[in-house]
Amino acid sequence: MAFLQALMAGTKQHFPKGPINFGNATYTAASLIQLISSLVTAMTSLSTAQAAAKDAMANKQGIEAKVGPIVSAYKRFLLATFAGATQTLADFGVPPPKAKTPLSSAQKAAATAKAKATRQARGTVGSKKKLAIKGNVTGVTVTPVTTTSASAASSESAQPAPTAPSAAAPAATATK
């Protein structure tokens, strides 16, 4: 934009009268300034339109953030209220929910086999088998706490939290 304005000013200063020949055409200073001025006007209007579009987009996003959740909740309400009445939903412009297609027996068998294979691969077990699994911990001595709950809370806050032993340090083992 600044270049075009300087181009117009230079044309007025150095070619005030007379024809200017370049690019297999002849121009007057006034016609060149008019052409360049039309480009400046177009660029200015584009910049103004882009700023207005940016403001409009920000306005739309602000309103959409407020109204969007209400619209989606209203749509869910309509689907729950008029679940069987497809024409009523169509009056609101809401498509009816798609009917679920039942799985064939081959698809059910494949799903069951896949679930069983996944369970074996992950090593997962049922709730009763989980109860039977116990972890073995060695080298840890458990000492009972004999202080009252009020004094224990104050002593815990005064002492720093215990840290886990590092991998480089050898683990302490309890001996009897």
What does the alpha-carbon distance between residue 30 and residue 19 come to, in Å, rounded to a whole number? 10
Over residues 9-29, the pLDDT tens digits come to 888 888 877 788 888 888 888
142 part of a folded domain:
no
Residue 5 makes CB contacts below 8 A (sequence gap 6+) with 40
158 part of a folded domain:
no
- Structural domain total, the chain: 1
pTM of the model: 0.43
- Which range has the top average pLDDT, 52-56, 111-115, 155-159, 166-170? 52-56
118 part of a folded domain:
no
Q: How far is CA 108 from CA 105, 112, 137, in A?
A: 5, 6, 43
For residue 142, what pLDDT band results from cuts at 50, 70 and 90? low
> Which two three-digit tokens encode residue 123?
């090593």
For residue 25, the enclosing domain spans: 2-92
